[in-house]
Amino acid sequence: GQQVMQIPQYQHVQEGEDFTTYCNSSTTLSNIQWYKQRPGGHPVFLIQLVKSGEVKKQKRLTFQFGEAKKNSSLHITATQTTDVGTYFCAGGSGYSTLTFGKGTMLLVSP
């Protein structure tokens, strides 16, 4: 079945540093979604990418979907303590439901 892998599993940065998490799928995706889960919270939708090579920005967050629609990345510029949480990618393929990656936990020290 479809597998979605994320790296790194964990990253600890100083406030102001940049952060990137990468997502790779074993199959070509029809779309990819990104979610953020704060400690003790539930996943909250951030964005969806559908087109090959698509790039979307939300303030300090930049999301990319690879040309082959098998990988994606989330980049945060100048992290803040409010960025703390676990970032999940979730891929959709054909008529399947979303497959979530294991997530990247981000810690930001002030």
Site residues, another protein (CB under 8 A): 6, 30-31, 33, 35, 41-45, 48, 50, 88, 90, 92, 95-103
Q: Which is nearer to another protein, 89 or 108 (CB)?
A: 89
φ/ψ of 82, rounded to 5, equals -70, -10
Q: How far apart are CA 81 and CA 102, in angstroms?
A: 22
Residues near 95 by beta carbon (within 8 Å), at least 6 away in sequence: none
Shortest Cβ 77–another protein spacing (Å): 24
Q: How far apart are CA 56 and CA 47, in angstroms?
A: 8
Q: Which is nearer to another protein, 39 or 110 (CB)?
A: 39
Shortest Cβ 43–another protein spacing (Å): 5
Shortest Cβ 16–another protein spacing (Å): 27
Q: What angle do CA 9, 54, 88 make, to 5 degrees?
A: 25
Shortest Cβ 4–another protein spacing (Å): 8
